[in-house]
Structure 1
Amino acid sequence: MALTMSQIMTLLTEHDLLIERQIAKNQPTKFDHVTYDSRKVEPQTLFFCKGNFEPQYLNQAKQKGATAYVAEKKYAQVTGMTEFIVTNVQQAMALLGAAFYDFPQNKLFITGITGTKGKTTTAYFAHGIQAAHTKGHAALFSTIDRIVGPKPKQRFKSDLTTPESLDLFHDMAEAVDSGMTHLIMEVSSQAFKKNRVYGLTYDLGIFLNISPDHIGNNEHPTFEDYLYCKEQLLRNSKNVLINAESQHFTEIYGAAQGSLMDDHIYLYARENSLISFETQVDFEFKETKQDLTESTIVISTYSDKGRQLAIDGEYELDIPGDYNQENAVAAIVSAAMTGAISAEIKKHLPEVRVPGRMEVFHVPGHGTVYVDYAHNYASLKSLLSFLRQQIPNERLLVLTGSTGDKGVSRRSGLGQAINEEADVAILTSDDPATEDPLKIAEEIDQHIDHDKVDVQIILDRKTAVKQTIKQSCPDELVVLAGKGRDATQKNNGKVIPYETDVKIVEDLSKER
């Protein structure tokens, strides 16, 4: 892997990013390494100055062997390096990163998935089927973890839903080198907002849904900006699959039509759903079985292009929740578009397990416990509403918190969902970061009617998990929301080990 001066100049010029190039006395002809982290610099590195950048990082990079840098401004205090001054360093980094790793995206069938809720479940459904279909040659980039190859060390925890562009293309290249032919990846709104996927084209883009989230000072200033960033997946895909029941469907569909002909746009919806447009969907599905542990759906096709995929029929999934049926349909269609046949899909879909998503535990003498990553109004409301339908006359207990330093708008949404569906709420810590977890809990609590819901605040999460379960009775349901299998807590600038909600529940279920 290497990047030549000629490649850099061509890419930056073609994309109208280059403002100025200043050549050092000993101009490098090629670069053997690329990074934005001064701690990872090696000799002959092209260094990217991004984000809240401090000049001392560039000095550190030079001392370790960096010979050139890409930035949006000159750093006069650092001399003796070739300079590429660009209009947008994130866009430049994505383009040059792809070139350095020899454009691995061109060697993979890439399915990109976006939506306010359901991305991870859909990604796991799709990966499970495609991995079986390709005999293990499907990679996964998800919120939970990344799979870049068949070896145990090639499966690791994700730091971001969509990583920085250099990390993204590095992992794609490793996937290609490991024999992967397919990639399923979640694509966050921040990935487009911060140009992490600039220049990347998806073979299939899936748009699940949209509702207010990630609105705040450090994320999206408005919902309109959030929606616009989500829509970029549709504008950068060869084919798209859209949930026609999504809010703001007219804008979403319009974004797809602005880039693609109708024969590359696929729509799906639940049978007899109230859809506010006249266009016929390609696929409809209906539920034929549903309980607290699994469900069955039937898919019917209504267009010529849809019939070519030959996916009509009944499918079982081993994860409960009517909202997960929508995720399953998206995964089924996407798998068929990669060549999987209906019989394969029907066989492998029930085998899929999603870590931390609707994991069910039975604690002797207490209620049934569900561990789920639900962390905003849309996801928590869907989860609680489904469970409420299953036990209309029993108590529903919910434990949740909200992250600090981002997603402030989620707090009111969590309180609203609890207020609409729960009987008992235990508010606790969930990665408070630099914020006071008590303040976060109180902000959620402001949106809960105490005449309807019994609210308790227990900030130590392990204690809160135990007490929530212990106060439940048989036939009641307990939801532990937010962290799933996350094994850390972010608190006061530190990442602290955490047993995980799942481990605490498992240990409690063994107590006598």
Structure 2
Amino acid sequence: MNISIDEAIQILKQHDLLVKSELISQKNADYISYNSKDIKDNTLFFCKGASFKEEYLIDAVNKGVTTYISEVEYSVKNVNKIIVKDIQKAMSLLSALYFKNPQDNLFIIAYTGTKGKTTSSYLTYTILEKMNNKKTALFSTMDRIVGKKAGMKFKSDLTTPESLDLFRDMRNAVDNGMTHLVMEVSSQAYKKNRVYNLKYDVGIFLNISPDHIGKNEHPTFEDYLYCKKQIMANSKICIINKDTDHFDEVLKEAQAHVSEEKIYLYSQKDDVVDFKFSDIKTVPTKGKFKISSQSDKAKKMNVDDEYVVNIPGIFNESNSVAALISTALAGASKENIKQGLSTTVVPGRMEVIETKNHGYVYVDYAHNYASMKALLSFAIGNHPKSKIIVVVGSTGDKGISRREGFAKALSEYANIAFLTTDDPGFEDPQKICEEIDSKIDHKKVKVNIVLDRIEAISEALEMSNKESVVIIAGKGADPYQKIKGIDTPYPTDSVVARTVLDDID
């Protein structure tokens, strides 16, 4: 592959991003990169990041860079210079160009929401796999799947990666025969223009609640909401959960960009929607719900029926409805949808362990007040006589508001809490736990601070009995702890729990 320098400049002009260009050669670039350690001969290089230094560019030029693009002009000689207003937007546009616009060859279903993105994406992915004979790519918080052969599935570093990596993976997916893509879109993806100018065939807004507010994330909730709403501005068809907070604002964003016929609403509570769902029976290991079409455009899709979802909780029934609507719009049959929902497994999301002598154990990624409240209320609803024991921590360096949210949820629903370590980053995990503990109502909840997460899980399980529910929250299937800039290997909550139970159950 290569990229025409002249065409690159024309696209930057079209988007009003070009400040100036100084060219010593019109030769096409044969490679693109933003990493000075990943350079080949005749590379176009993006100088990105607040901490970028000229020495990185000098090193890259010595290795083979012939064109650099930057918001800052450097004194490096004998290289093409393209100066732009926004390097992230420029990288997204030119990455799509270099990889031959692979998005045009994929039916893309994209999810955003404070909680439920990963579960909804897996549900959608599984349904589409039934529909198109395993030709679906997946870009999720946990996994990236670009094909079906060995080496085409790998762990994700970011919910939504840098644009260059995103379009490269799309190109690989197309070249590997994939026809559909399911992807999560984070608020940071719009905050940092990682998905600039990318359009989705179907975009879904699941929900929003205060999260990701802090010095390294969004400065305010308003900024967070604004970024989340951008998925509505970049989708050909919009699906919205009417039960979400700030629904009116999200709907207005969709209405500003597509016609009413291209907007689908669903709800458990409201009749003035296209699809209404009702819980039939939620049990500790599965959910069952009914879909009723309320509008003419919904009735045409012929999806009214009862469905079983292989993940418990009414909130996962809601996620299932989003997956049902989006895949039906992609052409999935009712049978495809039923098969997909009933067989989906999401590692670390409402993973249920039914024990002999220690009740039920739930491993879930719940990492803020909204998701923790949903998880704990589910536990109480399904196990009303059980003692609720929770193992949880909070991340360092980001999501500071989560700490008070955890304390609130624990005070409302838990009997016993083990506060422990969860990706402390550069913060002291003891202080993080103490901050959560300071907000807990100790008249309602007995609190234990056990920093070793494996030990905390062990103590919680050893304390439990047949009348207990143990909830291990926050990390899900994450196989590491982020400690002082290092991803330290960790066996995952599920593996730890099962290992302990093998010894004591």
> TM-score, structure 1 length as denominator?
0.97
CA contact (8 A) 2:130 2:339 kept: no
Equivalent in the alignment of 1:416 = 408
1:423-442 to structure 2, matched below 5 A, reads 423-442=415-434
2:394 corresponds to: 402
Give me the whole-angstrom Cα distance separating, in 2, the residues matched to 1:379 and 1:43.
48
CA contact (8 A) 1:101 1:173 kept: yes
- 1:280 alignment partner in structure 2: 272
Q: Secondary structure at the match of 1:113?
A: strand
Please name the residue that 1:55 is paired with: 54
Shift of 1:88: 0.2
CA contact (8 A) 1:139 1:184 kept: yes
Q: Return 235-244 or 146-155, whichever deviates more.
A: 146-155
**Per-residue deviation, residues 180-221 of structure 1 (Å, max 9, x unmatched):** 000000000000000000010000000000100000111111
Alpha-carbon distance in 2 for matches of 1:33, 1:308: 47
Alignment pair present for 1:497 and 2:489: yes
Q: CA RMSD for the aligned pairs?
A: 1.0
Corresponding letter in the other structure for 1:84: I
Match of 2:62, as an amino acid?
Q
Q: Is the 8 A contact 1:17 1:88 kept in 2?
A: yes
- CA apart distance, 1:41: 0.9
Matched, 1:21 2:40: no
3-state SS of the aligned residue for 1:234?
helix
Match of 1:100 among 98, 101, 110: 98
| Counterpart selection for 1:153 from 140, 151, 165 | 151
Q: How far, CA to CA, are the matches of 1:419 and 1:230 in structure 2?
A: 29
SS in 1 for 2:306: strand
Query: Paired residue for 1:75?
Result: 74
Q: Secondary structure in 2 aligned to 1:69?
A: strand
Choose from 34, 37, 58 the match for 1:36: 34
Structure 1 residue runs of 5 or longer lacking an equivalent are none
Contact 1:401 1:482 in 2 (8 A): yes
- Following superposition, the deviation at residue 28 of structure 1 comes to 4.7
Q: CA deviation at 1:365?
A: 2.6
- Structure-to-structure mapping, 1:326-345, within 5 angstroms: 326-345=318-337
Q: Indicate the residue corresponding to 1:347 in structure 2.
A: 339
Q: Which residue of 2 aligns with 1:232?
A: 230
What 5-or-longer segments of structure 2 have no aligned partner?
A: none
2:204 is the alignment partner of 1:206: yes
SS of aligned partner of 2:352: strand
- What percentage of residue pairs aligned between the two structures are identical? 50
The reply on whether 1:365 has 2:363 as its aligned counterpart is no
AA partner of residue 277 (structure 2): F
Could you say which residue in structure 2 is the equivalent of 1:130?
Answer: 128
Quote the offset at 1:334 in angstroms. 0.7
Q: Aligned pair in 2 of structure 1 residues 152, 447: CA closer, same or farther (>3 Å)?
A: farther
Are the counterparts in 1 of residues 143 and 153 from structure 2 also a CA contact under 8 Å?
Answer: yes
Render the CA deviation track for 1:37-77: whole Å, top value 9, x for unaligned. Answer: 1110111111001112111111111111011111001012x
Q: Hey, what's the Cα distance between the residues in 2 that align with 1:469 and 1:238?
A: 48
Number of aligned positions between the proteins = 503
Q: Deviations over 1:90-127 (max 9, x none)?
A: 00000000000000000000001000000000000000
- Contact kept, 8 Å, 1:364 with 1:509, in 2: the verdict is no
Report how far residue 164 of structure 1 moved: 0.4
Q: Is the 8 A contact 1:485 1:500 kept in 2?
A: yes
**SS of equivalent residue, structure 1 residue 326:** helix
Q: Offset of 1:305 from its aligned partner?
A: 1.2
Letter in 1 for 2:253: A
Give the SS at the match of 1:399. Answer: strand
**CA contact 1:109–1:181 (8 Å) conserved in 2:** yes
Matched, 1:447 2:439: yes
SS at 2:122's partner residue?
A: helix
Q: How far apart in 1 are the matches of 2:489 and 2:61?
A: 35
Report the equivalent of 1:307. Answer: 299
Other-structure match for 1:112: 110
CA distance in 1, matches of 2:246, 2:478: 32
For 1:228 and 1:320, the matched residues in 2 are separated by: 31
* 1:484 paired residue number: 476
Q: 2:65: which partner in 1?
A: 66
1:473 aligns with 2:468: no
Which amino acid is 1:12 matched to? L
* Runs (4+) off by over 6 Å: none
CA contact (8 A) 1:110 1:202 kept: yes
Take 1:368 and 1:396, find their aligned partners in 2: how far apart are those partners? 10
**Distance in 1 separating the partners of 2:478 and 2:355:** 21
Paired position in structure 1 for 2:371: 379
Give the conservation status (yes or no) of the 8 Å contact 2:385–2:467.
no
In 2, are the aligned partners of 1:28 and 1:67 still within 8 Å (CA)? no
Q: Specify the alignment match of 2:243 in structure 1.
A: 245
Residue 380 of structure 1 aligns to a residue whose secondary structure is: helix
Q: In the aligned structure 1, how far is the partner of 2:360 from the partner of 2:449?
A: 22
Distance 1:457 1:488 in 2: 20
Q: What corresponds to 1:267 in structure 2?
A: 265
Cα contact 1:109–1:203 (8 A) shared by 2: yes
Q: Report the equivalent of 2:188.
A: 190
CA-CA distance at 1:475 after TM superposition: 2.1
Instruction: Check the 8 A contact 1:363/1:508 in 2, yes or no.
Output: no
Q: Which residue of 2 aligns with 1:4?
A: 4
Q: For 1:66 and 1:439, how far apart are their aligned partners in 2?
A: 46
Q: The residue matched to 2:291 in structure 1 has which SS?
A: strand
2 CA distance for matches of 1:304 and 1:394?
Answer: 45
In the TM superposition, what is the alpha-carbon distance from 1:87 to its structure 2 partner? 0.3
Superposition deviation, residue 367 in structure 1: 2.8
> Does structure 2 retain, via aligned residues, the 8 Å contact 1:367–1:469?
no
Code of the residue aligned with 1:59 in structure 2: it is I
Deviation at 1:233, TM superposition (A): 0.2
